[in-house]
Amino acid sequence: MVVEHKAKITYMQLLKEDLVVIRLVPNDGMPKYTTGQFLTIGLPIPSEQKVVRRAYSIASHPENRDYFEFVIRWVRKPLPGRVTTELFYANVGDEVYLGEPTGNALLIDDKLPNGQPDNRRIVCVGGGTGLAPFIAFAKHLHDTGDKREIIVLHGASYVDELSYKELLTNYENESIERGKDQWNFRYRAAISRPKEFFNRSWAGHVGRVESFFKPNKNGVSPLEEMVGEEITTTNTKVYICGYQGTIDGVIEYLGPKGFVTKEEKRKDGSYEIKYESYG
C-alpha cells in the first residue's frame, strides 16, 4: 500500500523557462529523513483521470524542518514528463501528494567497513539537476560541523543552469575565511557548450562534468590539480548523480585508479563510488 501525505507548494523560483526551485510543506508535518534520499511527488493528471507519481531528489537537508526543496528540470523532448509538466503549471498554495522519503544509494558514509571513521574527502559529481542531493550534502555537512574536505562538481550546458552557484560559492568563501580546519569546502562548475553565445562570459572549466577526472598529458586531472595530490581510494570517496553517461564517464576515469562501485565491492565490503542515475 502506498503511503502518501498531502503537501502544499509554498515557494516557486523559476530560474529559467525549464528550471525551477520548488518548496513543499507536508500538511501533517515534516517526516524524518536522511541526507541523499528522494521522494515521490504525485499530481492528478486530468487526461488520465488518475494521480501519477515521479521520484525527485531532495535538495534540502534533514536539519531543516521547515520544508522539502527540489530543483526540477522540465524535459520536453521526446515527450514532456507528465508530473513535471503539471508542476510547472502549478502555483503557490496548490496541493500535491508526497510519498515517504526513501533511497539509500547516496547515503553519506561516516565509517569504513572495519568500523573506523571515514575521513576521506567527499567528491560530489552532479550533472544538471543531479546536483540536488549534493546541495543537501553541502548543507548537512556544513550545519553538522563536518571537518572532512568536501568538493562539489556541477555540470551544465548553460551558465543560467548553475542553479545553486551563489550558495556554493558562498560556502567556498566561508571555507577560506574560517580556515579549512573548520570548514573545508570547494565548488567547481563545468559548462559543456562554451561556444554558445549565452555562455560567452564563462571563464571556468569547459566540457562535461566528468572531464574534471580526465588526466592531462602528464597524467594529472583537473581535480587532482585542484586538491594538490593524486586522487586515490584511500583519500577520496566519490558520489555521482545524473544521467548514466555522466556516471559511466566518471567510472571510466577512476577505474584505472582502482575505484570500484557497490556492484564490484571487495571481499571486505569496501568500495569508493556511489551513484544514482535518473536516465
Number of domains in the chain: 2
- Tell me the three state secondary structure of residue 86: helix
> Could you tell me which residues are beta bridge partners of residue 38?
57, 102
The number of beta carbons lying within 10 Å of the beta carbon of residue 148 is: 16
Q: Which residues contact 114 (CB under 8 A, 6 or more apart)?
A: 268
In a shared domain, residues 75 and 134: no
Q: DSSP E strands: which ranges in the chain?
A: 5-16, 19-26, 38-45, 50-57, 68-73, 95-98, 121-127, 150-156, 185-191, 205-206, 236-242, 273-277
**One digit per residue, pLDDT tens: the chain, 279 residues?**
567 899 999 999 999 999 999 999 999 999 999 999 999 999 998 888 899 999 999 999 999 999 999 999 998 888 788 999 999 999 999 999 999 999 999 999 999 999 999 999 999 999 999 999 999 999 999 999 999 999 999 999 999 999 999 999 999 999 999 999 999 999 999 999 999 999 999 999 999 999 999 999 999 999 999 999 999 999 999 999 999 999 999 999 999 999 999 999 999 999 999 999 985
In a shared domain, residues 220 and 252: yes
The domain spanning residue 139 has which CATH number?
A: 3.40.50.80
Give the closest residue to 162 by CA, choosing from 200, 202, 196. Answer: 202
Q: Confirm whether 61 is domain-assigned.
A: yes
In a shared domain, residues 222 and 140: yes
Range of the domain at 215: 121-277
Q: What pLDDT does 210 receive?
A: 98
Q: What pLDDT does 78 receive?
A: 80
Total-model pTM: 0.96
Q: What pLDDT does 79 receive?
A: 76
In a shared domain, residues 134 and 264: yes
The domain spanning residue 70 has which CATH number?
A: 2.40.30.10
Q: What pLDDT does 2 receive?
A: 64
Give the closest residue to 9 by CA, choosing from 62, 69, 50. Answer: 69
